[in-house]
Structure 1
Amino acid sequence: MKDRVTKPMKNMLLFLIMLGVVSGRRPQFLKGLPATSTVEENSAAGVTVYNFSVTASPSEGVAIRSIIVKSNPLAEAFDIEPKGGLEFTVITTGNPVLDYETMPKSFDLQIFVEDTTGRTDLNILTIRITDKNEHPAFQGNMAIQTVTIYVMERKPPERIYQVDAVDPENANLKYSLLPATAPFSITESGAIFSMKEFDYEKDPHCYFLNVTVTDPDGLNSTRTVKINIINIDDESPYFTTKQRIYRIPEEQSPGTIVANITAKDPDDEDSPSRLFYSIQSSNRHFAINPATGVLQVTGRIDRDVLPLRLHPNISLMVRVEDGPSSGHASEMEITIVIEDVNDNPPECHPSAFRKEVNENTTPGTFLVELRNYCKDIDADPSNNQFIFTGLSGFGSNNFALKPTVSGRLVMTGIIDLENPANPGVQVYTLTVRVQDTAHPNYSNIIYIYIRIKPVNEFFPVFCNLSYVFSVSEITKVGSSIGRVHAIDRDWPPNVITYSIVSGAGTRDYTNIFWISPTEGNVMILARLDYETTQKHIFTVQASDQENSTTASVTVNVLEVNDEEPVCSPSFFSLQIPVNLAVGTNINGFRIECQDRDSDPRSFRYFINEGNENNHFTFSPSAGSNISHLILASRFDYESGLDTNWIYSLRVHITDDNLISARDKTTHLIKTGTVTLSIRVIPNPTTATTTTPGITVVTRRENRYSPSAWYVPFIVTLGGALLLGLLAYLGLLLLARLRSHCPPAGTARSTPLINAPEKKKPKKEVVVTMTKLNTVFDGEARDPVTGRMYEFNTRSGARRWKKSTEPPQPTLAMQVMSSATESSGQGVDRAEAPSKKEPSEKRKELTAVTKPAAKPSAGQSETPGQVGLRLQKKKEESEGGGLSSPAP
């Protein structure tokens, strides 16, 4: 191992040597130095340049170290190696290469030695570089490596590389190429040329050339040049797959490999393929891997639908190209045949059949041929054949498939719905299996619903041949009086409807009975009348829409006391003297009553209202349909027992049927009503000017019957004529009164009671008042108007009392003047009020006049008395003594 000293150590040694020189203690033990030596240029490393030694140390075994301290010029081209013992040699390091032409020609090396005892010595070795004839040298990349040159195919001959070489002696050099057969040449200047247009697919892809450069002395140097021919895309790829037709079954799952399409590109003969595959034709079933050419299934392939059902071949145009944009490509058409498989069961449309069959249908009747509605959509005939089997379900023993190939369903049994052995089922549910004849024998189920249609074989039958109902004549209209019922032996039972076909009417009503069409309930539509018809017989019919039968219905009407007594007259006005004898038939008045359902001896007579102090009674009071009005007790006005001069009697007449032997549980009492107005006339012999005025209130009720239309017409016409006459007489009377009446203030010229319009046209109130000039020492309340009035206790004269209360509604008043006959008893009958139209409001007139006493001999009558007398005489001549109320 070399004894080497680092640069810091060298610097320190140099410093010590210099220090020793300065101090004068520099030892001298190097032998052979200083000296001069030579070495050839470009000597390799390890060449010996010079040998030297050192003297022995005083002490044995002392190690000596020797180093080159400094080189001038500075270089590391030399080094010292020990040769053993005290011998050392200077050698070349080869770095840098000693080049005579470019480096210094001489180097001064300062060699320093030192032993372990501290002895040191320093001396100089001069080395001169000698020139020699060297081999030419390549420069650039060729000097350090093999140069690779790339030549594009299809390029014309051209210079492909320039060799750079020099001779150290600057001599002219010669270039040469080996092998000489290579299609390349080199010029005198070292330019390498290609000698042909290369074809990568035919020529070698790589050439190795030895370039030799030689100097005039025959020294040469050789380097290798590699020439690669670059392939360009100038060839179209071609398919290596020879198969053009492929067969696959239908319904392959996506990803199934159909074919592996392969191709080659002459440009890529010896390298991995860079081809791209694609399908040019439009399709939705297949796809090809663009890198590998593997053709796979991508979508469902159904051979049984159009267009594959008619054309099962799929043609694909496969394209291969050597680059997405190179333009070099090839195309190949392949055909894929889709083979049919049995993958569909037979299907029927509809899958459920509904048929109707009449009961008692004869065996062998054809119902349906199932094959007409079923098919198998598999394309291959060997896969679309099917048969019908497995007829099952409740009642299937009544049906059969003959034959199974066609699926012809026929009846084999008889179904009678009315047969007790038959469970009464109307709908049979059958199942039939339609099945493939080819493996794997797919199948479907067909449902057949057979409805047994009932046949109307039987007539409805009433439970009774005839029906009898007993009904009270007062049964309400709309009430049910009984029910008829019929049955039908058909199964299921037909809906029976009921109707009345004859005999349910009377003279007044077309139908007085109605029957419920579905329930058979008989109801009455009009009021029954025992007095008219005691028995009704009619015919009812029960029908099931096709057949019908009839039955008789008898309705017995039960008698009930439902008629009110009707009495005549129903309203009457009477006038009697105050001193009429008790037991007298008042004015010979009598009432006569009739009742359609009561015996004439069943009537009773009651005075329910207005009979104050029981002055009046009827005789007989019971047991006859005719009764007379009798004065039962005398009047007593003088003692004050009687104060009322007008009696409004309300008479009730009942038909007790007390002698009837009928069931009392159904007995009813009906009541008729008669209204009487009785005015008591004071005794004329005691009448004075202070005789109290008499007020007669008459309530009149208008009754209208549509059948008696002429009655209101005649009454209205007569009333209008009478009112016109009375108005004329009133005007004459008024004119006389105005000429003879006292001055204003001594007598009232206005009535006490005003006459407003009355809202109810059926009632009319007539009030007669007499005003007297007298002293009033008492007061009382009028029962009609409710107002207070004053009266004279001696004469009975009255007048309305002045009050701060608001005026009460007044009743319409009608002045009626009457004169008593000399016999003391007058018979006045109030005429019935004239009837007016319902829409017309009745108008009442009110008049107030002084009562007129009969004039004495030699005394002249007033105009009012004359008018009243004339009116009285006219009424007696026209109406037989009846007096009409004054307007």
Structure 2
Amino acid sequence: MGKDLGCEITEVLFQGRRTQLLKGLPATSTVEENSAAGVSVYNFNVTLSPLASEDVAILPTIVNSNPFTEAFDIKSKGGLEFSVITTGNPVLDYETMPKSFDLQIYVEDTIRRTDLNILTIQVTDQNEHPVFRGNMAIQTVTIYVLEGTPPERIYQVDAADPENAKLKYSLLPATVPFSIRESGDIFSTKKFDYEKDPHCYFLNITVTDPDGLNSTKTVNINIININDECPYFTTKQRIYRIPEEQGLGTIVANSTAKDPDDEDSPSRLFYSIQSSDRRFSINPGTGVLQVAGRIDRDALPLRLHPNISLTVRVEDSSGCDSEMEITVIIDDVNDNPPECNPSAFRKEANENTSPGTLLVDLRNYCKDIDVDPSNNQFRFTGLSGFGSNYFALESTVSGRLVMTETIDFENPANPGVEIYTLTVRVQDIAHPNYSNIIYIYIRIKPVNEFSPVFHNLSYVFSVSEITKVGSSIGRVHATDKDWPPNVITYSIVAGAGTRDYTNIFWISPTKGDVRILARLDYETTQKHVFTVQASDQEKPTTASVTVNVLEVNDEEPVCSPNFFSLQIPVNLAVGTNINGFRIECQDRDSDPRSFRYFINEGNENNHFIFSPSAGSNTSRLILASRFDYESGLDTNWIYSLRVHITDDNLVSARDRTTRLVKTGTVTLSIRVIPNPTTATTTTPGFTVVTKKENLYSPSAWYVPFVITLGSLLLLGLLGYLVLLLLTWLCTHCPPRINAPEKKKPKKEVLVTMTKLNTVFDGEARDPVTGRIYEFNTRSGARRWKKSNEPLQPTLAVQVMPSAAENSGQEMDRAEAPSKKEPSEKRKDLTAATKPAAKPSAGQSETPGQAGLRLQKSKEASEDGGLSSPAP
């Protein structure tokens, strides 16, 4: 029935002469409405030509329908016989669908001959059964009616006839207390009583059309019970007894009740406990009372009052209820073992504790919390543990632990254990004989029975006097017979001091090692005796220690004077005792005959010797050879002699292989004075020239140079720092304008002008004016060059105090320039080239400043107006 196949068939019909293959078509047929699937509507045959085979290429097919429908199909009946049948989808409905359908049937044989004919099918009307609509059309309707409801309409039946005929309603069985009217309304005919009447009714509703066709549906009517009576308990028992510590969920009681409205149906009743006791719960549907929490008879309040009262309520769905009081008695059981607090005991006993001494009474610390006296009795058994043979229980009832033997740590047969771990079982007498273990730790304390004993009653140590401070000189040792051995502490209790030192010896508190804290001196003390003590914290013991100090040559010669300065003339005679100088030396541990004198440093050309050079504590300084500066042999005018004085330790050095030599030191400074020179002095007021012979040798030419250069650098640095300070003060300290106050009289300043000869040794051209100017390369002074003009000296300005201030200084300062050193002249020259500062606004100009300014103006005019030409 596709569109493409129809187009192809139409094309074949118009190409040539039409072939008659479908026999019996076109034709007209009828079918009843609402026919089921597979109903035969019309039969036809297919005729084949002799040239064709005995089969068709395309079976007869409905290629189109007008109007369009899928309610028909073609079915083969065998061979070349076919039938048009109904499909059942959609169902043919005369009232809602078209009344006629034109079906185009197409067929094609094996030689491609085709045929297309039309079958017209007319739908005929059929009288149908009435139908129910609404809920009754799809299910059985259930209606609920409350008991006690008066007669009224309870349901409306909805039915219709396909032919729109008037319908008639009927109800069966006729004995039910219900009726149905012509409109389809169902009414109740009585007031229902749930307890007396049936609880459910089944009604058959029949609807019939005028032709007698009918349809029937069933309606269920349930009577709803109204709760008008309260439930009541049927259980007679009110007292229950259970043991304590029952498991959760254990059933205690079964409370049953009845509700007249529910006909003994327990599902409509609800049970609850009204008290706040959480140890019990009740099943809300069955009324079974169960254990919901721990019930401990031995704890308060059950320990005093073992009865538990509960109020059980039963309630129906309407809220009508009844209550019942029940009592649960809790019985005690032996469910607690005896307990001890503490469960572990720590006791101490001395090693010499006598047998029978009580260590601990266990019964004072143990109890059983079960309430029933038959359940709280217990006993002590099973004393065990290493060393338990030293201990015992007096009886199983008392629980008193006592010593049975004395423990002595010093006894070799004793195991030497300080802590004994014992266990005792505390057990119920009643079944099931619960028990606990008690741990007892007994510490046996050693007793200090013996005092420490030194290995020697006295100790003697020999120590050299040069032994370093902190060195060990010996060790004392003591032992203790106690077991375990006590810690022995050593200390010095007497002696060990001198006049200069409180403690000259120290002993290690733990090792007994004796050390020195100060330098030993044989010359002061040859023997030290002190007492040491060994203590085990309780019992002390003492011993004597003697320290013999061994003599060593540790003292160096001490000479007086140890430093001296001498001056001798250059032509001093050889063999002369220089200035009568002599040194005297002392040595605490050496004989004066052991002294030897050596000049170790500074004795150039061996000009000096000491006499005697050995064997005396006094020696003189002698000139051994003359000085020779003229030939250049001697160049040094100052001699720094370092003299060493040694001792040979002839007195103390008994063992020559180990004798020591000590050295003292004396420093002498000897200045050689050259022959004096003459000096010539000029007339007073003129320059005085003094001629002196240069005392420096040619090899020391750098000495005056370095001194002069250092002085110049130091002066320059000081001047630069002063200039920086003045600049900073002028920048950061502006003058303050204060209120007018009484001015102090100013000092007069006398300005004197001094002509200094300036040599202009250079020339240059001014780049601005093009004129030639002369300048001094050292001072920087400049002037315009004039032809045939003699050299003019530059002005130097010097500010002098007035005569009123110091009249005696004017002449000295006027004569100062002729006596100044070259460096001072350079300072004056630099100050002369600086322009004079003009007075600031608001300040008066002193006479000296005015004169200086006029003089500068005059000089500038003489120089031709050159103020600051650029070089």
For Structure 1 versus Structure 2, the TM-score category normalised by the shorter chain is 0.5 to 0.7
Structure 1 residues 561 and 659, CA gap change in structure 2 (3 angstroms): closer
Tell me the secondary structure at the aligned position of residue 559 of structure 2: strand
Q: Give the match for residue 305 of structure 1.
A: 299
Q: 1:418-497 counterparts in 2 under 5 A?
A: 418-497=410-489
Offset from partner CA, 1:694-734 (integer Å, 9 cap, x none): xxxxxxxxxxxxxxxxxxxxxxxxxxxxxxxxxxxxxxxxx
The answer (yes or no) to whether the contact 1:560–1:666 under 8 Å persists in 2 is no
Query: What amino acid sits opposite 2:331 in the alignment?
Result: E
Q: Give the match for residue 260 of structure 1.
A: 254
Normalising by the residue count of structure 1, what TM-score does the alignment of the two structures yield?
Answer: 0.55
Distance in 2 of aligned mates of 1:250 and 1:517: 69
Structure 1 residues 149 and 498, CA gap change in structure 2 (3 angstroms): closer
The answer (yes or no) to whether the contact 1:779–1:788 under 8 Å persists in 2 is no
Q: Give the match for residue 340 of structure 1.
A: 332
Structure 1 residues 587 and 149, CA gap change in structure 2 (3 angstroms): closer
The answer (yes or no) to whether the contact 1:654–1:669 under 8 Å persists in 2 is yes
Shift of 1:231: 5.3
Task: Answer with 496-505 or 308-317: which moved more.
Answer: 308-317
Structure 1 residues 738 and 505, CA gap change in structure 2 (3 angstroms): farther
Tell me the secondary structure at the aligned position of residue 364 of structure 2: helix
Q: Give the match for residue 72 of structure 1.
A: none
Alignment of 1:746 onto 2:735: no
Offset from partner CA, 1:478-507 (integer Å, 9 cap, x none): 222222111111122222211111111111
Shift of 1:200: 6.9
Query: What amino acid sits opposite 1:319 in the alignment?
Result: R
Query: What amino acid sits opposite 1:788 in the alignment?
Result: Y
Query: What amino acid sits opposite 1:432 in the alignment?
Result: V
Q: Identity of aligned pairs, percent?
A: 79
Q: Paired residue for 1:399, among 385, 391, 396? A: 391
The answer (yes or no) to whether the contact 2:527–2:549 under 8 Å persists in 1 is yes
Structure 1 residues 317 and 588, CA gap change in structure 2 (3 angstroms): same
Structure 1 residues 151 and 359, CA gap change in structure 2 (3 angstroms): closer
Alignment of 1:570 onto 2:562: yes
Structure 1 residues 382 and 808, CA gap change in structure 2 (3 angstroms): farther
Tell me the secondary structure at the aligned position of residue 635 of structure 2: coil
Structure 1 residues 577 and 442, CA gap change in structure 2 (3 angstroms): same
Q: Give the match for residue 647 of structure 1.
A: 639
Higher Cα Rg: structure 1 or 2?
1
Shift of 1:612: 1.4
Query: What amino acid sits opposite 1:252 in the alignment?
Result: Q
Distance in 2 of aligned mates of 1:563 and 1:777: 44
Shift of 1:206: 9.4
Q: Give the match for residue 291 of structure 1.
A: 285
The answer (yes or no) to whether the contact 2:653–2:659 under 8 Å persists in 1 is no
Shift of 1:254: 1.7
Shift of 1:648: 2.2
Alignment of 1:525 onto 2:517: yes
Q: 1:55-454 counterparts in 2 under 5 A?
A: 232-269=226-263, 274-323=268-317, 326-454=318-446
Q: Paired residue for 1:584, among 576, 579, 584? A: 576
Distance in 1 of aligned mates of 2:225 and 2:529: 127
Distance in 2 of aligned mates of 1:637 and 1:263: 152
Alignment of 1:780 onto 2:723: no
Distance in 1 of aligned mates of 2:649 and 2:143: 157
Distance in 1 of aligned mates of 2:652 and 2:338: 93
The answer (yes or no) to whether the contact 2:240–2:253 under 8 Å persists in 1 is yes
Offset from partner CA, 1:384-427 (integer Å, 9 cap, x none): 21111110111111111112112111111100111111121111
Shift of 1:317: 0.7
Distance in 1 of aligned mates of 2:365 and 2:411: 35
The answer (yes or no) to whether the contact 1:151–1:160 under 8 Å persists in 2 is no
Structure 1 residues 591 and 773, CA gap change in structure 2 (3 angstroms): closer
Offset from partner CA, 1:820-861 (integer Å, 9 cap, x none): xxxxxxxxxxxxxxxxxxxxxxxxxxxxxxxxxxxxxxxxxx
The answer (yes or no) to whether the contact 2:681–2:688 under 8 Å persists in 1 is no
Q: Give the match for residue 850 of structure 2.
A: none
Shift of 1:745: 7.1
The answer (yes or no) to whether the contact 2:266–2:285 under 8 Å persists in 1 is no
Task: Answer with 259-268 or 530-539: which moved more.
Answer: 259-268
The answer (yes or no) to whether the contact 2:677–2:692 under 8 Å persists in 1 is no
Shift of 1:205: 7.0
Structure 1 residues 580 and 255, CA gap change in structure 2 (3 angstroms): same
Distance in 2 of aligned mates of 1:501 and 1:335: 87
Distance in 1 of aligned mates of 2:652 and 2:221: 159
Shift of 1:301: 2.1
The answer (yes or no) to whether the contact 1:279–1:317 under 8 Å persists in 2 is yes
Distance in 1 of aligned mates of 2:455 and 2:417: 27
Offset from partner CA, 1:182-212 (integer Å, 9 cap, x none): xxxxxxxxx9998xx99876x787999xxxx
Q: 1:664-683 counterparts in 2 under 5 A?
A: 664=656, 666-682=658-674
Tell me the secondary structure at the aligned position of residue 415 of structure 2: coil
Tell me the secondary structure at the aligned position of residue 295 of structure 1: strand
The answer (yes or no) to whether the contact 1:265–1:273 under 8 Å persists in 2 is no
Count of residues paired in the alignment: 532
Distance in 2 of aligned mates of 1:656 and 1:340: 110
Q: Give the match for residue 779 of structure 2.
A: none
Structure 2: gaps of 5 or more residues: 1-29, 33-141, 155-173, 176-186, 202-219, 715-871
Q: Paired residue for 2:551, among 559, 581, 585? A: 559
The answer (yes or no) to whether the contact 1:497–1:543 under 8 Å persists in 2 is yes
Query: What amino acid sits opposite 2:346 in the alignment?
Result: R
Structure 1: gaps of 5 or more residues: 1-6, 10-147, 162-177, 180-190, 209-225, 691-736, 748-771, 790-799, 811-887
Structure 1 residues 808 and 313, CA gap change in structure 2 (3 angstroms): farther
Alignment of 1:507 onto 2:499: yes
The answer (yes or no) to whether the contact 1:515–1:521 under 8 Å persists in 2 is yes
Structure 1 residues 159 and 468, CA gap change in structure 2 (3 angstroms): closer
Tell me the secondary structure at the aligned position of residue 679 of structure 1: strand
The answer (yes or no) to whether the contact 2:239–2:326 under 8 Å persists in 1 is yes
Offset from partner CA, 1:774-817 (integer Å, 9 cap, x none): 6x6995344xxxx625xxxxxxxxxx35899555999xxxxxxx
Q: Give the match for residue 718 of structure 1.
A: none
Alignment of 1:689 onto 2:678: yes
Shift of 1:272: 6.0
Tell me the secondary structure at the aligned position of residue 372 of structure 1: helix
Distance in 2 of aligned mates of 1:627 and 1:559: 28
Structure 1 residues 149 and 549, CA gap change in structure 2 (3 angstroms): closer
Shift of 1:309: 2.2
Shift of 1:571: 1.9
Query: What amino acid sits opposite 1:669 in the alignment?
Result: V
Structure 1 residues 571 and 286, CA gap change in structure 2 (3 angstroms): same
Shift of 1:739: 11
The answer (yes or no) to whether the contact 1:275–1:322 under 8 Å persists in 2 is yes
Shift of 1:653: 0.6
Shift of 1:638: 3.8
Structure 1 residues 371 and 741, CA gap change in structure 2 (3 angstroms): farther
Alignment of 1:629 onto 2:621: yes
Query: What amino acid sits opposite 1:341 in the alignment?
Result: V
Tell me the secondary structure at the aligned position of residue 268 of structure 2: coil
The answer (yes or no) to whether the contact 1:160–1:193 under 8 Å persists in 2 is no
Distance in 1 of aligned mates of 2:490 and 2:348: 29
